Amino acid sequence: MNPFKTIFLDRDGVINEDSPDYIKCWAEFHFIPGSLDAVARLTRSGLTVIVITNQSAINRRWVSVTELETMHRRLRQAVLDSGGRITDIFYCPHLPDEGCGCRKPKPGLIFAARDRYGIDLSSAVMVGDSVKDILAGQAADCGRTVLVQTGNGMTAIQALEETGQRPDHVAADLDRAAQWILDRPGSHP
């Protein structure tokens, strides 16, 4: 029996390169090497892949909802062209000080995905590059959390160690995280 059914992926710093200036258009969207293949391998193994991402650039008025949705449509197509599938993308448009329940580290986006798709969160893995990603996965009671060292991953490791909040696994990138997920006992159908 496959221990994992759903893989939640952060976007910036996990699938694509992050930027302190935010990703505001497709021209600024650059895939991290190996990320497309990683999503394809997860998909081919029968896992559902859902993106969970904070996108405060919307409420900062640096990117429109239309532009964000265009980027996400192109992201999904690039993944499809590589043999993978992203089932859905959930995003939070709010600023950190707006206090919404959907902005990571709060688990609202994960709960929204759970409710829409009937996901058993104990069989889900949250993969991210930041403290917020790991805390959101833990707050949602995901079965596992994986921190990747791309994006903000290196600073997140230190911050998590200081607070005692540790991910279940640390991987160099999404490609290695996918391999760790697929190598778990019983992971292959």
Local confidence pLDDT in tens for the 189 residues of the chain: 457 899 999 999 999 999 989 999 999 999 999 999 999 999 999 999 999 999 999 999 999 999 999 999 999 999 999 999 999 999 999 999 999 999 999 999 999 999 999 999 999 999 999 999 999 999 999 999 999 999 888 889 889 988 888 999 999 999 999 999 999 875 444
The answer to whether the beta carbons of residues 109 and 92 sit under 8 Å apart is yes
- Residues known to be catalytic: 10, 12
pLDDT (0 to 100) of residue 189: 44
Cα–Cα separations (whole angstroms), residue 61 to 10, 95, 184: 21, 11, 42
The answer to whether the beta carbons of residues 173 and 36 sit under 8 Å apart is no
pLDDT (0 to 100) of residue 151: 85
pLDDT (0 to 100) of residue 149: 95
Assigned CATH topology for domain 6-182: Rossmann fold (3.40.50)
pLDDT (0 to 100) of residue 188: 44
Residue 181, judged by CB atoms within 10 A of its CB (0-12, 13-18, 19+), counts as buried
The C-alpha atoms of residue 160 and residue 130 are separated, in whole angstroms, by 9
Question: What are the residue ranges spanned by the domains of the chain?
Answer: 6-182
Q: Kindly report the length of the chain.
A: 189
